[in-house]
Amino acid sequence: MQTNTLIRMYLKEHVDICSQFPVSETANLLDILVDTYNRGGRVFCFGNGGGASIADHFTSDLAIHPFISEDKTAPRELRRLQVICLNNSLSILTRLGNDMGYENIFIEQLKSYSLTCNDVVIAFSGSGNSENIIRALSYAQGFEAVTVLIGGRDGGRAKVLADICILVPGTSQFPGQVGKNDNCFNIEDFQGSIGHMITGLMKEALQ
């Protein structure tokens, strides 16, 4: 298949996803985060692979962007939201992975924070089936923290552990995201977009 045709296919898949996009679920996440801010709660983000970088990006956006001026020259006179990414320390991740197993790299970090019902725990996962994702969400549930899955496909095992489940719809025929990787590029693209939407909406909500 010609390159131009494949590029158009990829873009059309995005258009199709937009037509089915989970708008209400995304709006629900904003409401939860505003409530978390008002209660003085914290937001914890994590993921594997591409989801790890998206979690890091979302953390930096949500922690800073709503609290500075539009021209980025001055802080807004607002209390900040505490947002923590569990992917940021390579030494912690490799220490836990080596000593306690990769399946425990997120749950063991959460144990350091004394979770409460005012906190939100957000997992970025394509399949929703990674054991480290499952263990972390299940642990957070035990403290009645709000659990969130931003993923795709059918949500996997994590879906039943999430109070809010935002799933990127659709399937793909584009090279690199077929078979077990079905729709992975599109899922990650829209995970990033969801993060940007929430960041901008949060800034608007704190006007």
88: phi then psi, degrees, rounded to nearest 5: -80, -25
Answer yes or no: is pLDDT of 38 > 90.
yes
Tokens at 3, concatenated: 């390159």
Mean pLDDT of 118-139: 97
Q: What is the mean pLDDT of the chain?
A: 96
- Strands, DSSP E only, in the chain? 42-47, 82-85, 120-124, 146-152, 164-168
* DSSP string computed for 150-202: EEETT-GGGGGG-SEEEEE-----STTSSGGGTTHHHHHHHHHHHHHHHHHHH
| The pLDDT value given to residue 207 | 82
Answer yes or no: is pLDDT of 13 > 80.
yes
Rounded Cα–Cα distance for residues 67 and 61 (Å): 10
Longest dimension (CA), the chain: 54
Strand arrangement, sheet containing 82-85: 82-85, 42-47, 120-124, 146-152, 164-168
Q: At 1, is the pLDDT very low, low, confident or very high (cuts 50, 70, 90)?
A: confident
Which domains are assigned to the chain? 24-69+78-205 (3.40.50.10490)
Tally of residues, the chain: 207
Residue-wise burial string across 35-45, b where 16 or more C-beta atoms lie within 10 A, e elsewhere: ebbeeebbbbb
Mean pLDDT of 64-74: 91
Answer yes or no: is pLDDT of 77 > 80.
yes
Q: Give the helix/strand (H/E) hosting 32.
A: helix 23-39
Alpha carbon separation from 20 to 52, 83, 145, 169 (Å, rounded): 25, 29, 29, 7
What does pTM read for this prediction? 0.96
Nearest to 45 by CA among 164, 156, 147, 160: 147
Tokens at 172, concatenated: 């793909």
Whether the Cβ atoms of residue 85 and residue 121 lie closer than 8 Å to each other: no
